[in-house]
Amino acid sequence: MAKKTAVAKSKKKPAPSTKKRKRKSGTTGERIEALAQSVVTMAEKQIDPHVDIPLRALSNVHFNEKTRYIEMGDKFQQRNFFNYGQAKRFMQTMLVASKCKDLSNEEKTASIRQIYYMAKHTIKGTKEKTFDEQSECDPIIEDLEVAVESLREELHVFASSRGSLIGQLTFVDSGDTIDATRMGSGGYSIPSIVEPDVIQFKKCNAKFVLHLEKDTVWRRFVEDRFWEKHRCILTHGGGQPPRGVRRLLHRMHNELKLPVYVLLDNDPWGYYIYSVIKQGSINLAFESSRMAIPDAKYVGVSAFDYERFDLSDDVKIEVDANDVKRSKQIMAYPWFKNKRPWAREIKRLLANGFKMEVEAMCSKSLSFVTEEYLPYKLKHKNEWLD
Amino acid sequence: MAKKTAVAKSKKKPAPSTKKRKRKSGTTGERIEALAQSVVTMAEKQIDPHVDIPLRALSNVHFNEKTRYIEMGDKFQQRNFFNYGQAKRFMQTMLVASKCKDLSNEEKTASIRQIYYMAKHTIKGTKEKTFDEQSECDPIIEDLEVAVESLREELHVFASSRGSLIGQLTFVDSGDTIDATRMGSGGYSIPSIVEPDVIQFKKCNAKFVLHLEKDTVWRRFVEDRFWEKHRCILTHGGGQPPRGVRRLLHRMHNELKLPVYVLLDNDPWGYYIYSVIKQGSINLAFESSRMAIPDAKYVGVSAFDYERFDLSDDVKIEVDANDVKRSKQIMAYPWFKNKRPWAREIKRLLANGFKMEVEAMCSKSLSFVTEEYLPYKLKHKNEWLD
């Protein structure tokens, strides 16, 4: 009975705590093993086996003014085996963990869809499936990420890849040396997993990284050999950059000490993309420390650029009700709220009543953006948004 | 008056004709100039200026049994300047043509969105814009493609890029030599424009090209170094392959004499992707001769693979009403209709009542698809679909 009480007690713990979470030690494989071992130990001691899953919810997320990114708090949920409502998810968690351990042992990687198919089976003697839908499996992978404090990539699970890179960087990817100044017009496809065991930086002549929203704009910069003239690295993420692109930007920023400049469309979506690159996202708050780049700078497009560059009416795209709503939400984000330039920027967008795309600069001339707009921006740091 | 009659006459011409269309001569730049010159000449002769735009509609598309791809017929529309309903589109056509000529002169390329911004302006002294929406501009670009018989890429206009390549091929892209056996895990991003002035093939050790539907499956093949063991080139197109990927497949097939094998999901969407790679699409029928690969082979996944490989129920995804409808449409395509194996295949899918993804092979084991499934398929050519 004493044991049961112990379990019941641990259910209440912890109330939101201010103590710092300690990073778990060991490799991801070792941490999965430790998780499994703790379950075995509980079973042997005849305690109801459980795993603690840090809570991934808005209520457990906050903006840390010191680190300047979104962080996860200390609340967690206990997932018990002998609990009617939790048993299935408990078993699913164990199953996914064992598949990730297999991947790690085999030195292979899999997509979330592949994990789902690997883990899905019919339980012997029943018609019960371990998973009915991928949508059941995906959150379990996220649970496991936070439970063992490993990036998805460290669990050997990859997301869809999107995004390319060209510029003043030489690196090794899986044993192959890639000179990103010699990648033609196509460029290097940024893979989903860019951890140091896959990608090692070798030589960097760049002074900064310029991250662009879309491949079509990126191509303009590549064709005009902007990376050569301005000694930089050009990346894009096909819209909201996927994990691999964010993680690579993070690594270039921290390991190569490169400033990261971001050029996005002047609309709430552009602001939001910047926000995610800089502060992290609520969904992936547990990964902020290895994804977010609090020092990233928004170099454009700004709502003030319309006057600044004497643009014509042809660049205007009317804002709609949804844009207004999103702009106000973004303005209220704790990390934008206290910054006057951001308040001015967003208010100006709303006062303008129109949005502008990077591509709209073509209405001046095709290479205006690479030959005049961005060189001007690079000189006038006071006009950047931080 | 004689002149007017001439115009009126030419409006009726041609009734669907069986005569072969002659390919226009000269470079794309020269052809745009010829188009412009003909308009000037008509104006000088006081004839109502017009351009002939081949008709891009189902009624002007057919499957050529000899070439084995979808072709455009000879019907065209005349677009006149002195016609209330056509004047605007006539002027838009001239405008887009002049922008494409500029691109060609400057040796630059632009996206369709950039073209739109370049061509959009307010006509002096009015509030009339040359274009209000990009959706007005895109079809004009397609009109121009058919009118001057140039691929969009030859007009220096690019689409969004998607898709990657790794394998036994060395090529030059914009002056940089790319050895696709040494591209790490990320691979080479296939750009939108892959014409011979951009990409030149240098050395090829591949015996075939294997085209995969999705990047996640492609990654499985890359990680297992399938391209090395089986001496091939691996490509994917992120779903329905974009123009750049299709054109590169076409070039590798025709210039390097490589067979193209296609591995897609077993569902109507997979069949359709194959159909487009092989026969071309109705929308882009005018480009079939430089895009379609009539000898491409569908190596899988086949509806018969469920039994063939003793797969479990876990791979099944139920077909819905839309799948049934699409399957029947595809079965009725002239290029599938007369092929018994295709009729059998599609009927079997419907009889199965379920679809299967390539990734479902992971339910056997992660590398089953690269180590057993595809090696088996490569040996059993009789099981391919053609």
Contact call for B184 and A164, based on CB within 8 A = no
pTM: 0.87
ipTM metric: 0.84
Please, which residues bridge with residue A297 across strands?
A261
Spatial distance between the Cα atoms of B216 and B16, rounded to a whole number of angstroms: 46
Spatial distance between the Cα atoms of A241 and A306, rounded to a whole number of angstroms: 26
What one-character-per-residue DSSP string does A214-245 give? -HHHHHHHHHTTHHHHTTEEEEE-SSSPPHHH
Contact call for A366 and B103, based on CB within 8 A = yes
Q: What number is the average pLDDT over the span B233-249? A: 94
The two tokens of residue A265 are 């469309």
Looking at residue B88, its pLDDT comes to 94
Which residue in chain A has the smallest CA separation from B239?
Answer: A160
For residue B334, name the pLDDT band (cuts at 50, 70, 90): confident
* Cis amide linkage into residue B139, ω under 30° from 0: no
Looking at residue A57, its pLDDT comes to 83
- Most B CBs within 10 Å, among A134, A219, A356, to test the B interface: A219
Chain A positions touching B113 (Cβ under 8 A) are: 216, 357, 359
Q: What number is the average pLDDT over the span B108-119? A: 93
pLDDT at B19 over 90: no
Model pLDDT for residues A271-307, shown as the tens digit of each residue: 999 999 999 988 788 889 899 999 999 999 999 999 9
Looking at residue B8, its pLDDT comes to 37
Looking at residue B23, its pLDDT comes to 65
The H or E element that residue A76 is part of is: strand A76-80
Model pLDDT for residues A107-153, shown as the tens digit of each residue: 999 999 999 999 999 988 998 999 999 999 999 999 999 999 898 88
Spatial distance between the Cα atoms of B357 and B218, rounded to a whole number of angstroms: 13
Contact call for B176 and A198, based on CB within 8 A = no
Looking at residue A23, its pLDDT comes to 66
Looking at residue A22, its pLDDT comes to 60
Chain A positions touching B198 (Cβ under 8 A) are: 184-185
Model pLDDT for residues B36-81, shown as the tens digit of each residue: 999 999 999 999 999 999 988 888 999 999 999 999 999 999 999 9
Spatial distance between the Cα atoms of B300 and B265, rounded to a whole number of angstroms: 7
Mean pLDDT of chain A: 91
The beta-carbon neighbor of A185 closest among B117, B191, B315 is: B191
Looking at residue A161, its pLDDT comes to 77
Looking at residue B283, its pLDDT comes to 78
pLDDT at B11 over 80: no
CA dihedral B298, B300, B304, B309 (to 10 degrees): 150
pLDDT at B7 over 80: no
Q: How far is A12 from chain B (nearest CA, A)?
A: 38
User: How far is CA B78 from its chain centroid?
Assistant: 26
Chain A positions touching B312 (Cβ under 8 A) are: 121-122
Chain A positions touching B189 (Cβ under 8 A) are: 164, 186-189
For residue B118, name the pLDDT band (cuts at 50, 70, 90): very high
Looking at residue A283, its pLDDT comes to 78
Model pLDDT for residues A236-280, shown as the tens digit of each residue: 998 999 999 999 999 999 999 999 999 999 999 999 999 999 999
Model pLDDT for residues B346-377, shown as the tens digit of each residue: 999 999 999 999 999 999 999 999 999 999 99
Q: Are B68 and B279 in contact (CB under 8 A)?
A: yes
Please, which residues bridge with residue B78 across strands?
B52
Q: HEC states along B127-176?
A: CCECCCCHHHHHHHHHHHHHHCCCCHHHHCEECCCCCEEEECEEEEECCE
**Structural domains present in chain B:** 2-15+25-158 (1.10.10.10), 164-383 (3.40.1360.10)
- Most B CBs within 10 Å, among A359, A369, A373, to test the B interface: A359
Looking at residue A20, its pLDDT comes to 47
Mean pLDDT of chain B: 91
pLDDT at B272 over 90: yes
Model pLDDT for residues A163-220, shown as the tens digit of each residue: 999 999 999 999 999 999 999 999 999 999 999 999 999 999 999 999 999 999 999 9
Q: How far is B313 from chain A (nearest CA, A)?
A: 8
Contact call for A314 and B121, based on CB within 8 A = yes
CA angle B105, B107, B111 (to 5 degrees): 105
Chain A positions touching B160 (Cβ under 8 A) are: 214-216
pLDDT at A88 over 80: yes
Q: How far is B64 from chain A (nearest CA, A)?
A: 34
Residue B181 burial (CB < 10 Å; 0-12/13-18/19+)? middle
Which residue in chain B has the smallest CA separation from A312?
Answer: B121
What single-letter DSSP state applies at residue A282? S
Q: β-pairing, B69-72 with A354-355? A: unpaired
Pairs of residues, one from chain A and one from chain B, whose beta carbons lie less than 8 Å apart? 174
Order of all β-strands in the sheet with A260-263: A297-300, A260-263, A208-212, A232-236, A164-167, A188-189, B188-189, B164-167, B232-236, B208-212, B260-263, B297-300
What single-letter DSSP state applies at residue A371? I
Q: Are A294 and A279 in contact (CB under 8 A)?
A: yes
Spatial distance between the Cα atoms of B255 and A147, rounded to a whole number of angstroms: 53
Contact call for B184 and A193, based on CB within 8 A = no
Chain B positions touching A187 (Cβ under 8 A) are: 188-189, 191
Chain B positions touching A224 (Cβ under 8 A) are: 108
Residue A158 burial (CB < 10 Å; 0-12/13-18/19+)? buried
The beta-carbon neighbor of A216 closest among B160, B183, B315 is: B160
Dmax (CA) for chain A in angstroms is 78
Looking at residue A39, its pLDDT comes to 95
Query: Of B248, B255, B253, B55, which is closest to residue B163 (Cα–Cα)?
Result: B248
Spatial distance between the Cα atoms of A330 and A279, rounded to a whole number of angstroms: 13
For residue B2, name the pLDDT band (cuts at 50, 70, 90): very low
Q: HEC states along chain B?
A: CHHHHHHHHHHHCCCCCCCCCCCCCCCHHHHHHHHHHHHHHHHHCCCCCEEEEECCCHHHEEEECCCCEEEECCCEEEEECCCCCCHHHHHHHHHHHHHHHHHHHHCCCEEHHHHHHHHCCECCCCCCECCCCHHHHHHHHHHHHHHCCCCHHHHCEECCCCCEEEECEEEEECCEEEECCCCCCCCEECCCCCCCCCEEEEEECCCEEEEECCHHHHHHHHHCCHHHHCCEEEEECCCCCCHHHHHHHHHHHHHCCCCEEEECCECHHHHHHHHHHHHCCCCCHHHHHHHCCCCCEEEECCCCHHHHCCCCHHHCEECCHHHHHHHHHHHCCHHHHCCHHHHHHHHHHHHHCEEECHHHHHHCCCCHHHHHHHHHHHHCHHHCEC
Spatial distance between the Cα atoms of A214 and A385, rounded to a whole number of angstroms: 20
Query: How many other C-beta atoms are found inside a 10 Å radius of the C-beta of residue B313?
Result: 13
pLDDT at B380 over 80: yes
Phi first, then psi: what are they for B73, rounded to 5°? -80, -165
What single-letter DSSP state applies at residue A304? T
Alpha-carbon distances of B6 from A357, B55, B73, B85, rounded to whole Å? 47, 21, 23, 20
Contact call for B362 and A118, based on CB within 8 A = yes
pLDDT at B18 over 50: no
User: Is the model more confident about B89 or about B9?
Assistant: B89
Query: How many other C-beta atoms are found inside a 10 Å radius of the C-beta of residue B115?
Result: 28
Residue B83 burial (CB < 10 Å; 0-12/13-18/19+)? middle
Contact call for B363 and A120, based on CB within 8 A = yes
> In sequence order, what are the residues at sequence separation of 6 or more whose Cβ sits closer than 8 angstroms to the Cβ of residue B373?
B300, B305, B309, B361
What single-letter DSSP state applies at residue A62? E
Contact call for B363 and A178, based on CB within 8 A = no
Looking at residue B58, its pLDDT comes to 83
Q: Specify the range with the lowest mean pLDDT, choosing from A5-9, A41-45, B227-231.
A: A5-9
Contact call for B121 and A366, based on CB within 8 A = no
Spatial distance between the Cα atoms of B213 and A143, rounded to a whole number of angstroms: 29
**What percent of chain A clears pLDDT 90, i.e. is strictly above it?**
80
The H or E element that residue A14 is part of is: none
Contact call for A176 and B158, based on CB within 8 A = no
Spatial distance between the Cα atoms of B349 and B320, rounded to a whole number of angstroms: 12
Looking at residue A8, its pLDDT comes to 37
Provide the annotated active-site residues of B. Answer: 117
Spatial distance between the Cα atoms of A196 and A173, rounded to a whole number of angstroms: 9
Query: Of B63, B86, B81, which is closest to residue B73 (Cα–Cα)?
Result: B63
The residue type found at A233 is I
Q: How far is A79 from chain B (nearest CA, A)?
A: 26
Q: How far is A46 from chain B (nearest CA, A)?
A: 34
The two tokens of residue A130 are 């371990």
Q: Which residue has the tokens 């876990």?
A: B314
pLDDT at B321 over 60: yes
